[in-house]
Amino acid sequence: MKEPFIHPLYIIEKLETAGYEAYFVGGAVRDLILNRTIGDIDIATSARPEQVMELFPKTIHVGIEHGTVVVVHENETYEVTTFRSEGEYDDFRRPSSVTFISSLIEDLQRRDFTINAMAMNAKGEIIDPFNGREDLRNQLIRTVGNAKERFHEDALRMMRAVRFVSQLAFSLSDQTKRAIQQYGELLRHVSIERITVEFEKMLSGKRPSLALALVADTELYRYLPQLNVDPQKFRSVCAHDWMMLQRVSESWTLLVHLLDIQDKQAFFKSWKLSNKQIKDIQLQSIGLRDVLENGWSKRIMYTIGEQASVSVNRILQLLRSNEHMNEHELLYIYRELPIHSLKDLDINGQDLLVWTGKKGGPWVSQLLKEIEEKVLYNELMNTKSSIRKWVQSCSQI
């Protein structure tokens, strides 16, 4: 048994000792076979939630109505879920009812894709009723059973499909791809927040260009916030090597640049991004526009800051712009700036009031900006005495 499974193996063994079936399931089993980093480890069992809670002293009751109990073991948390089948889906997201069952195979049958519908027992043996391992070998994303049914149960699965294409560099099976083309409009029933999570995971994957091409081929973009644009325009975004980007904010910045989105604030609000995310992307967008128009300058680096400058430079490299700089050179220039924000000035507005004897007013911020500019371009030393001399000799005072 590999390292990540050793600690939670205790949970499986304790359930088995009590007479229940228990298995590792889902993404952890898939990633083990692919030799990828193991994320969350989930367990499926024939034990009912109340029976799980009786066996383990530390549990968190987060989804008992759906059969899930979180077991705390050695300061780690593991979701333990009772085998279940699901009733009709009447909102393209949640089943109208959940029935606890005793069959692992039936439980696996309700899952989205074959590569996620495998289980592993305490001996490390894989249970694979839907040929998930074969699809892993063939690098294929295929729904469990009928694709139409899976996507009508939870329309978000269409976004998960293209996300896995990006993360794993796999392809979609023909049936799965056709179903997405046919039922893409079901995404209108899914909350924007859930769509955004999957879209960002797709942008952050190994092969985002591959996934974006699928979004174009299946016309899924038509049902994504403010992306119902000209097909050729959307297809143009797939032509770039998105793998070069390292932060999801860079991907958003590139997307709005390539699609020439004018009202970026409204665009990102429609995706329900946080104010922090929007601020980061707006900074990068401002920097990208200015550098493409005028080239790099100390003023641009100073205005957008170190991280945004690095991100903009990375996007310029992807765009094969002549304005792209060596990153070490860019960082050297930025870090050698005399100041990195207005707060770094050796004086403040109160000093100006004292030195001039004037009352406050708009002139204070205007003069601070002028001092900031001169210090930034090494025309004035950032010392109180130097700035005071300059202020007192300035004709406008």
**Which CATH number characterizes residue 313's domain?**
1.20.58.560
Residues 256 and 218 in one domain: no
Residue 10's identity, in one-letter code, is Y
Residues 143 and 82 in one domain: no
How many domains does the structure of the chain reveal?
4
pLDDT at 96: 61
Q: Which of 239, 271, 296 is the last residue of a domain?
A: 239
316-322 contacts at long range (C-beta below 8 A, 24 or more positions apart): 316/288, 316/291, 316/292, 317/244, 318/240, 318/241, 318/242, 318/244, 318/245, 318/254, 319/240, 321/291, 321/292
Pairing label, strands 119-120, 126-127 = antiparallel
End-to-end, the C-alpha distance of the chain in Å comes to 77
How many CB atoms are located within 10 Å of the residue 140 CB? 20
**Which CATH number characterizes residue 382's domain?**
1.10.246.80
**Which CATH number characterizes residue 34's domain?**
3.30.460.10
Domain ranges, residue 77:
1-132
d(CA 70, CA 76): 10
Residues 120 and 149 in one domain: no
Residues 18 and 113 in one domain: yes
Residues 369 and 384 in one domain: yes
d(CA 75, CA 52): 18
How many CB atoms are located within 10 Å of the residue 168 CB? 21
Residues 10 and 115 in one domain: yes
Residues 189 and 205 in one domain: yes
Q: Which of 100, 132, 164 is the last residue of a domain?
A: 132
pLDDT at 396: 52
Q: What is the CA radius of gyration of the chain?
A: 28
Q: Which of 179, 214, 239 is the last residue of a domain?
A: 239
Q: Is 157 annotated as a binding residue?
A: yes
CB 184 within 8 A of CB 217: no
pLDDT one-digit tens code per residue, 292-315: 999 999 999 999 999 999 999 999
pLDDT one-digit tens code per residue, 196-222: 999 999 999 999 999 999 999 999 999
Q: Is 320 annotated as a binding residue?
A: no
pLDDT at 62: 81
Q: Is 135 annotated as a binding residue?
A: no
Residues 259 and 372 in one domain: no
Q: Is 40 annotated as a binding residue?
A: yes
Q: How far is CA 328 from CA 52, 121, 376, in A?
A: 55, 50, 20
Q: Is 280 annotated as a binding residue?
A: no
Q: Is 160 annotated as a binding residue?
A: yes
Using 70 as the pLDDT threshold, list the residues of the chain that sit under it.
Answer: 87-97, 395-397
pLDDT one-digit tens code per residue, 46-85: 999 999 999 999 999 887 888 999 999 989 999 999 999 8
Residues 38 and 69 in one domain: yes
Q: Is 163 annotated as a binding residue?
A: yes
pLDDT at 397: 47
pLDDT at 87: 62
d(CA 234, CA 98): 40
Residues 126 and 143 in one domain: no
pLDDT at 1: 72
User: Strand runs (DSSP E) across 112-237, as ranges?
Assistant: 119-120, 126-127, 140-141, 171-172
Q: Is 30 annotated as a binding residue?
A: yes
Q: Report the candidate in 347, 349, 335 with the shortest Cα–Cα distance to residue 305.
A: 335
d(CA 84, CA 76): 24
Residues 194 and 288 in one domain: no
Residues 126 and 156 in one domain: no
